[in-house]
Amino acid sequence: MKYLVMVQGAQADYEAMRGKASASSPSWSEEELQAMFSYMGAINDDLAETGELVDAQGLAEPAQTRHVTLGTDGKAVITDGPYGETEELPAGYWVLECESLERVTEIAERVARCPQPAGAPDHPVVIRPIMDGSGDI
């Protein structure tokens, strides 16, 4: 079974990683950033070794996001970031091939334990089963 595992983040989190603290997120030191990158790299290495890793990527900050919807007149309404500090968007993802929901939940719990500065927001790790071409999961 394939699963999409996503970590969430807000623009303030990306700013904090660049050293700009806010009311919702303290600034990150270079050591804290390196600890996070090492931790996530170890997860990726372990998942590659077990054969469960299909893909994993970090995503650009919400300020580089574009939302496209249709207005009442049927024309595209385009909204560029940045968005409000509290708007959480996917910050990165893994596509995993796991034997069970329990296994992918173990992995998500490990992801949730990623080191971060004291006082940084705890965003959820989201698991979504990926449907196969027939509409089944």
What CATH superfamily classification does 2-129 receive?
Answer: Dimeric alpha+beta barrel (3.30.70.1060)
The pLDDT, as a whole number, for residue 88 is: 83
H/E segment holding residue 4: strand 2-9
CB atoms within 10 A of CB 81: 16
1: confidence class by pLDDT, cuts 50, 70, 90: very high
- Could you give the strand order of the β-sheet that contains 125-129, starting from the edge strand earlier in sequence? 53-58, 89-97, 2-9, 125-129
The domain ranges of the chain are: 2-129
Q: How many angstroms separate the CA atoms of 4 and 94, rounded?
A: 6
The pLDDT, as a whole number, for residue 52 is: 98
The pLDDT, as a whole number, for residue 76 is: 97
Using the structure block, give the residue that is written with the tokens 């940084």.
120
- Write out pLDDT tens, residues 37-96: 999 999 999 999 999 999 999 999 989 999 899 999 999 999 887 765 557 889 999 999
Q: How many angstroms separate the CA atoms of 15 and 12, rounded?
A: 5
Tell me the pTM: 0.88
137: confidence class by pLDDT, cuts 50, 70, 90: low
The pLDDT, as a whole number, for residue 95 is: 98
Q: What is the mean pLDDT of residues 98-119?
A: 97
109: confidence class by pLDDT, cuts 50, 70, 90: very high
